[in-house]
């Protein structure tokens, strides 16, 4: 968007929180007695999958749209995401009377296209890959002056996602460890900046799937790298971090205490536990915190908060996972 500062501070996040107040839900946080029994620590679940549009992405998208100048807002916003960012941007733009254009390839399933349209966006179907959809975004920015709102590597987006961290601190001031689902790192960077800004002793741990963890691979070698993408139950955690990453790589490197990778079977177990025990429907990406706690993967100090980041899962897939399937392949084979 505009000139990017090098990082996002808790003051930026407080400003974002004031800006988006009333436009996003303040989501509940609840204790989990069963996870407390299993882990011996006080465990709270931050029910962000209740957020409007089904994920925390509405926070960042709303802050980005509200941060535009009137002239930018009049030209409209654009993105290439068909997932939770696309939904969020469609909703956020419509709520402010702006036009969002979402570019997608013709391979995107009709139900996803319909959902983005229902939320009020203009849909442009171009080419047969995500790269071609992104090229169309670049063209609309260059030729029509539309403003691209990226899914994670943007100061306004990170500050918006960070408002989730502020809420956690307000709801459980003594929190010692926060478990954050991690992909491009907008959520983890924002939440860590907020939580550590308020309490520097608190730990923030990023969790992602073994299959195609671009941020983890990049942190391991010290600069952004590409990794091969494989289908995962945590499909919202797929995708790269951008070889020209400006903000989230450095923030995750500097602020996260650890990053852990989860196998598919553990993510499936997390979704199953969320449903059968906590009575919550979450997508794979939203289940990684519960998954890591159940698998005993984390050495952590309590109280711990696991962020349930989204609920946008295909319900046929969800039913099969709840009934015992442990991977996307098994789901396809079933």
Ligand X SMILES: *Cc1c(COP(=O)(O)O)cnc(C)c1O
For residue 324, is it left (φ>0), alpha (ψ between -120 and 50) or beta?
A: left
Catalytic residue among 46, 55, 57, 327: 57
Asked whether the bond before 236 is cis by omega within 30 degrees of 0, the reply is no
**Interface size with ligand X, residues (CB under 6 A):** 19
Among 46, 57, 73, 112, binds ligand X (CB under 6 A): 57
Single out the segment in contact with ligand X by CB under 6 A; choices: 9-17, 28-36, 99-107, 278-286. Answer: 278-286
For residue 63, state whether it binds ligand X (rule: CB under 6 A): no
Q: Which of 251, 241, 187 is nearest to 213 (CA)?
A: 241
Q: Is 46 a catalytic residue?
A: no
C-beta nearest to ligand X: residue? 310
Q: Read off the tokens for 23.
A: 């436009």
Between 165 and 184, CB nearer to ligand X: 184
Instruction: Tell me the per-residue interface mask from 182 to 211 with ligand X, x by CB under 6 A, - otherwise.
Output: xxxxxxx-----------------------
279 alpha carbon, distance to own chain's centre: 21
Between 109 and 145, CB nearer to ligand X: 109
Q: Is 309 a catalytic residue?
A: yes
**Cα within 13 Å of Cα(321), Cβ side:** 31
Is residue 235 within 8 A of residue 323, CB to CB? The reply is no
241 alpha carbon, distance to own chain's centre: 13
For residue 163, state whether it binds ligand X (rule: CB under 6 A): no
Among 236, 245, 326, 327, binds ligand X (CB under 6 A): 236
Most distant pair of Cα atoms in the chain: their distance = 58
Using CB under 6 A as the binding rule, the residues of this chain from 282 to 311 that contact ligand X are 283, 285-286, 309-310
Distance CA 4, CA 7 (A): 8
| Binding footprint of ligand X on the chain (CB under 6 A) | 55, 57, 84, 152, 181-188, 236-237, 283, 285-286, 309-310
């Amino acid at each position: 968007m505009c000139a990017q500062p090098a990082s996002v501070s808790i003051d930026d996040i407080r400003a974002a929180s004031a800006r988006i107040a009333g436009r996003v839900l303040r989501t509940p946080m609840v204790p989990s007695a069963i996870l407390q029994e299993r882990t011996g620590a006080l465990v709270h679940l931050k029910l962000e999958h209740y957020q409007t549009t089904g994920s925390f992405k509405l926070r960042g998208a709303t802050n980005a749209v509200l941060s535009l100048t009137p002239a930018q807002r009049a030209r409209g916003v654009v993105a290439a995401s068909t997932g939770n960012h696309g939904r969020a941007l469609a909703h956020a733009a419509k709520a402010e009377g702006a036009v969002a254009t979402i570019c997608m390839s013709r391979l995107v399933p009709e139900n996803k296209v319909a959902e983005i349209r229902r939320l009020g966006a203009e849909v442009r179907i171009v080419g047969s890959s995500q790269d071609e959809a992104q090229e169309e975004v670049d063209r609309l920015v260059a030729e029509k002056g539309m403003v691209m709102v990226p899914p994670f590597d943007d100061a306004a987006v990170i500050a918006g996602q960070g408002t989730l961290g502020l809420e956690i601190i307000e709801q459980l001031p003594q929190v010692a460890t926060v478990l954050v689902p991690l992909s491009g790192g907008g959520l983890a960077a924002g939440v860590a900046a907020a939580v550590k800004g308020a309490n520097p002793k608190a730990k923030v741990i990023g969790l992602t799937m073994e299959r195609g963890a671009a941020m983890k691979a990049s942190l391991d070698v010290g600069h952004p790298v590409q990794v091969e993408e494989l289908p995962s139950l945590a499909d919202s955690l797929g995708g790269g971090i951008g070889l020209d990453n400006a903000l989230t790589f450095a923030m995750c490197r500097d602020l996260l205490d650890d990053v852990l990778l989860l196998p598919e079977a553990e993510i499936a177990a997390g979704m199953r536990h969320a449903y059968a025990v906590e009575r919550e429907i979450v997508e794979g990406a939203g289940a990684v915190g519960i998954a890591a706690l159940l698998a005993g993967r984390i050495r952590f100090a309590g109280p711990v908060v696991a962020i349930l980041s989204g609920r946008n899962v295909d319900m046929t897939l969800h039913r099969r996972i709840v009934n015992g399937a442990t991977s996307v392949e098994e789901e396809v084979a079933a």
